[in-house]
Amino acid sequence: MPSAVALIPAYQAAATIAAVLDDWARVWRERGVDAPRVIVVDDGSTDDTAGVAVQAGAEVVRHAKNLGKEAALRSGLGRARELGADVAVALDADGQHPAAEAMRLLDHEAGVSALVLGIRNLVEAGAPRANRFSNAFSNVWLSGFSGHWLRDTQCGLRRYPVRETLALGARANGYGFEAEVILRAARAGWRIEQVPVTVVYPPESLRTTHFHSVRDPFRIVMRVLYTAATASRQ
C-alpha cells in the first residue's frame, strides 16, 4: 500500500466526527496494522468539531472561518504533502462513508497516480430525490466534457494522488472543486477508476448537508464550462 492518509473535511461535525474516527481506527485494528494518519480539516466550525477530533486521535487543520469544501480539501492535501503521503482518501465527516469502504479505495490496485472515485447506488442508499437528480445532471455534463463515462461525480469518497492533484491547479469554489479535479485529471490523461461503494444515509430527521441541490450543480456546470475552455488535453 502506498503512503496514505485519510482526509476529512468537517464543518459543524462535533456530533458525528468521533464515530467516524472510531470506525476508521476499528477497521484497521481488525486488519492488525496501525491506521494511517487522519487529517481533519475544521472549516471554521463554531461547535467543538476540532476538539472532538483531536480527542479521537486526529490531526486537525483549522480554518478561522468557513471557506468551503474546496478550501478544506486543498488545505488537507497540502498537509498530506507535507507529511510525505502519496495518496489521500477523502471521506465525509457525517458518517455517510463507512471506513471499510474507504479502505477498499486505498486497497485498489491502481497506481498511486490514479484518481479513484467511489460510486454510490443512490436509490438503494435512500438518497433524497433532489440529490439523485443533481448528481445525474452533473454526471452527464462531466462525462461529455471529460470523455469518460462517469457514474457518480458528487461522491465525496475518493482516493486522490496528493502531489499530482495539487499540481492540477484546480481553483473552483465549494463542490465545484471535486468536479474540476475530475475534468482536469481526464484532460491530463490520468487513469480514473470507479469503484462501487456502500454509503449510509441517516434518517431524514438527522440528515445534515451543506450541498445545495440547485445552486451547487449550477456552479459545477459553470466550472466545467470554464475548465473545458482553459484546460489543455495531453
Instruction: Give the pLDDT confidence score for residue 204 in this predicted structure.
Output: 57
Q: Which contacts of 107-111 are long-range, i.e. CB under 8 A and separated by 24 or more positions?
A: 107/1, 108/159, 108/193, 108/195, 110/191, 110/193, 111/191
Cβ atoms of 97 and 118 closer than 8 Å: yes
As beta bridge partners, residue 13 has: none
Instruction: At 85, give phi and psi (nearest 5°).
Output: -75, 140
Query: CA 93, CA 71: separation in Å to the nearest integer?
Result: 15
> Which domain, by its residues, includes 108?
4-230
The residue behind cell 450541498 is 211
Query: CA 102, CA 159: separation in Å to the nearest integer?
Result: 8
How many domains would you assign to the chain? 1
- pLDDT reading at 169 higher than 70: yes
- pLDDT reading at 225 higher than 90: no
Q: What is the pLDDT of residues 105-138, one digit of tens each?
A: 999 999 999 999 999 987 776 676 767 777 787 7
Average pLDDT score over the chain: 87
Q: How far is CA 204 from CA 124, 198, 200, in A?
A: 15, 18, 12
Instruction: Give the pLDDT confidence score for residue 122 in this predicted structure.
Output: 75
Instruction: At 84, give phi and psi (nearest 5°).
Output: 85, 20
- pLDDT reading at 181 higher than 80: yes
119 contact partners, CB below 8 Å, separation of at least 6: 151, 152, 155, 194, 195, 196, 197
- The CATH number of residue 71's host domain is 3.90.550.10
Q: What is the mean pLDDT of residues 25-49?
A: 96
Residue that wins the pLDDT comparison between 18 and 221: 18
Q: How confident is the model at residue 171 (pLDDT cuts 50, 70, 90)?
A: confident
Q: What is the mean pLDDT of residues 76-103?
A: 96
